[in-house]
């Protein structure tokens, strides 16, 4: 690697860190002390939430104007392994209506700015609570364009560098989505396997106890039968001798 290339890379990394700090500071000042995550250009979160029977829980996340949005839910344990899931825009419009499914996904390439709501509805299940894996990610790619403009103002050509970072980030987001789905399926399969094992073990023990009890009762009555016959024969012999 030549000295000019190394210098360019170092300058790019320094400016990237400065740009990230300035973006967070500007976001905090614009939001007047709100959560610093609201000013971040990208957020990826994963939760495991417990939804009681007959209840509905809603969760909210701030999304930048024009940012990408991806959200998914997977029922890991409980009842029929299905739950209602809906997505609402900041203006209250439902863009993904309720659907009673085990797994649901929703993606928006150019989301409206504001607080989006994601609701998990377990009202159809009157007795079984649900354990749900909720995954959400949002990213604003315009921030990379601002970063490129700042570098071009310093006569540093990094268009290829910026494009590469954007492509890598998109691939990483896709990989995270597949990994999250795989983890959810693995957890759900493990819970089903554990539930089946407990079911089989419990009924096996019950059947063994029933079989043992039946055998004991049969032996007891067979012994009683022979005892009564023996008494009758002994009584008859005694009567004959008399």
Distances in whole angstroms, Cα of residue 47 to Cα of each of 109, 129, 172, 217: 22, 16, 19, 55
Can you tell me whether residue 99 is helix, strand or coil? Answer: strand
If we measure between CA atoms, which residue out of 3, 189, 154 comes closest to residue 81? 189
21-58 pLDDT, tens digit each: 343 334 444 444 445 566 666 788 888 899 998 888 99
Q: Provide the CA 2 distance to its chain's centre, in angstroms.
A: 47
> Residue 172 and residue 21: Cα distance in Å, rounded?
22
pLDDT of residue 242: 55
Tokens of 128: 């079984």
Q: What's the fold here for domain 3-193?
A: Jelly Rolls (2.60.120)
89-123 pLDDT, tens digit each: 999 899 988 888 888 999 988 888 889 999 999 98
pLDDT of residue 4: 46
Rounded to the nearest integer, the mean pLDDT of the chain is 76
pLDDT of residue 22: 41
pLDDT of residue 185: 80
pLDDT of residue 236: 58
What DSSP character marks residue 155? T
16 band by pLDDT with thresholds 50, 70 and 90? very low
pLDDT of residue 84: 92
Beta-sheet strands, E only, within the chain = 42-51, 56-63, 68-77, 83-88, 94-101, 103-108, 114-121, 130-139
172-215 pLDDT, tens digit each: 888 887 887 787 788 878 888 888 888 898 899 999 999 998 98
Helices (H) and strands (E) in the chain, counts: 3, 8
232-242 pLDDT, tens digit each: 555 555 655 65
> Residue 170 and residue 177: Cα distance in Å, rounded?
11
Domain boundary assignment for the chain: 3-193
> Residue 222 and residue 3: Cα distance in Å, rounded?
100
Lowest mean pLDDT among 71-75, 110-114, 148-152: 148-152
Which ranges of 139-158 would DSSP assign to H, the alpha helix? 142-153
pLDDT at 9 over 60: no
- Per DSSP, the residues of 8-55 read HHHHHHHHHHHHHHHHHHHHHHHTTS--GGGG-SEEEEEEEEEE-TT-
More confident residue, 67 or 6: 67
């Amino acid at each position: 690697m030549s000295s000019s290339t190394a210098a360019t890379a170092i300058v790019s990394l320094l400016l990237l860190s400065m740009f990230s700090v300035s973006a967070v500071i500007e976001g905090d000042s614009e939001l007047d002390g709100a959560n610093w995550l609201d000013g971040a250009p990208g957020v990826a979160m994963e939760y495991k939430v417990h939804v009681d029977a007959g209840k509905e829980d809603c969760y909210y996340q701030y999304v930048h104007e024009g940012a990408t949005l991806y959200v998914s839910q997977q029922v890991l344990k409980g009842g029929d392994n299905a739950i209602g899931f809906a997505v609402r825009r900041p203006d209250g419009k439902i863009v993904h209506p309720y659907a009673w499914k085990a797994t649901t996904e929703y993606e928006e390439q150019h989301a409206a700015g504001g607080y989006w709501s994601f609701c998990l509805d377990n009202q159809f299940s009157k007795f079984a609570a649900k354990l749900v894996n909720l995954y959400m990610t949002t990213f604003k790619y315009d921030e990379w364009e601002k970063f490129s403009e700042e570098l071009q103002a310093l006569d540093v050509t990094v268009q290829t560098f910026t494009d590469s970072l954007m492509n890598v980030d998109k691939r990483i987001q896709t990989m995270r989505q597949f990994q999250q789905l795989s983890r959810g399926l693995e957890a759900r399969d493990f819970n089903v396997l554990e539930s089946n094992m407990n079911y089989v073990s419990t009924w096996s023990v019950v059947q063994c106890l029933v079989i043992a009890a039946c055998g004991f009762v049969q032996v007891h009555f067979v012994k009683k039968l022979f005892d009564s016959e023996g008494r009758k024969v002994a009584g008859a012999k005694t009567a004959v001798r008399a």
